[in-house]
Amino acid sequence: MMNAGFHPGFIIAQLINLVLIIAWLVLVLIALFSLKRRNLSASAKGIWALLIMIVPLMGAISYFIIQPTDPNQP
């Protein structure tokens, strides 16, 4: 007979997936709020916001690595 219950490995895998999704959402939100505080042009902010939201994980990570600044600031 087949066991209709969930196996412990399945539950652990689902919990890991949930933690990763929550971590990704938190990273995206932090990046977007950080972008909002930066002194950039509206088009640059829009491009970064799209990149952060469309490219999962790498968009937010690249934002924190590059840390864009306004080229007109000293």
In order along its 74 residues, the chain shows pLDDT tens digits of 456 677 888 889 999 999 999 999 999 999 999 999 988 889 989 999 999 989 878 888 888 888 887 666 65
Those residues whose C-beta lies under 8 Å from the C-beta of residue 13, and which sit 6 or more positions away, are: none
| 46 domain-assigned | yes
Terminal C-alpha separation, the chain: 73
Among 60, 32, 26, residue whose Cα is nearest residue 45: 32
| 59 domain-assigned | yes
Domain containing residue 30: 23-66
| 47 domain-assigned | yes
| 7 domain-assigned | no
| 4 domain-assigned | no
pLDDT of residue 39: 87
Number of domains observed in the structure of the chain: 1
pLDDT of residue 7: 81
